[in-house]
Structures are given as C-alpha cells and as structure tokens.
C-alpha cells in the first residue's frame, strides 16, 4: 500500500486521530495552518475529486457532516470555519487520496492565495 492516507487509515503511519468509524478517519494535519486543522478522509481510496462516482455521494456527505461536527465540538461553529477540498496541481493537492481540510480558530483570508 503506497498511498500515505491509506496507510494513516490502516494505522501503519501514526496520526493524531480525532474521529474514526468504519468509513471515515479524521486526524490533525501534521503542518497546521490554523489552531484547528483537521483532515477528514474516507477509508476507501479515491485519488481526487475528479474520480468521484455517484456511488460516493453518501460518503462525501458523511465527510462534510463529520467536518461540521468536529468544528462544532471544537467550539468553532458559531464564529466560523472553512472546509476545503484541493484538486490537482493548480489547487496545490499534494496527497492523492481525497481529504477535506477543516480549518478554524483564526480569521481566514478570502480569496485564497
């Protein structure tokens, strides 16, 4: 298994896991860009958003709802937070296993750089 986030999900690589179930894993980003920076991934390997099929609609919905729940648990729901999926080179995707960034705890600039 060569994919970094498949290996995190399989616990072959240590991570600070904040949530897991049979379909999802969420863990703290190793290089946080905000006081809260969590990555929500599916256990199933999907390389990019371009590879999503209709069969993943439920899974992506679970990822987004889990990101919102983690932000709420961290106390960021009312003040706000950001969720981001980067896709391919122009967006700066570096790990080719889809992941939802959940960032909160500081004022985030818009538009993004």
Residues that bind ligand 5GP (CB under 6 A): 4, 13, 15, 27, 29-31, 39, 86, 92-95
Stretch that binds Zn ion, among 20-28, 49-57, 63-71, 93-101 (CB under 5 A): 93-101
Q: Determine whether 99 is an active site residue.
A: yes
Pick one of 34, 97, 98, 102: the residue that binds Zn ion (CB under 5 A): 97
> Measured from the CB atom, is 83 or 93 closer to ligand 5GP?
93
SS3 17: strand
DSSP characters over 56-79 = GHHHHHHHHHHHHHHHHHTT-TTT
* C-alpha to C-alpha distance for 21 and 33, rounded to whole angstroms: 25
The catalytic position among 37, 45, 99, 101 is 99
CA distances from 98 to 55, 88, 89 (A): 15, 10, 14
Angle (nearest 5°) at CA 63 between 2 and 41? 15
Shortest distance in whole angstroms from residue 94 CB to ligand 5GP: 4
Binding region for Zn ion (CB under 5 A): 3, 5-6, 45, 97
């Amino acid at each position: 298994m060569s994919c970094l986030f498949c290996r995190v999900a399989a616990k072959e690589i240590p991570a600070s896991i904040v949530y897991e179930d049979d379909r999802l894993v969420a863990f703290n980003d190793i290089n946080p860009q905000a006081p809260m920076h969590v990555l929500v991934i599916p256990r199933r390997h999907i390389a990019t958003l371009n590879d999503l099929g209709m069969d993943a609609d439920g899974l992506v919905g679970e990822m987004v709802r889990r990101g919102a729940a983690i932000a709420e648990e961290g106390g960021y729901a009312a003040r706000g937070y950001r969720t981001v999926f980067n896709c391919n080179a122009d967006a700066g995707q570096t790990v080719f296993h889809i992941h939802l960034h959940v960032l909160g705890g500081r004022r985030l600039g818009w538009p993004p750089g």
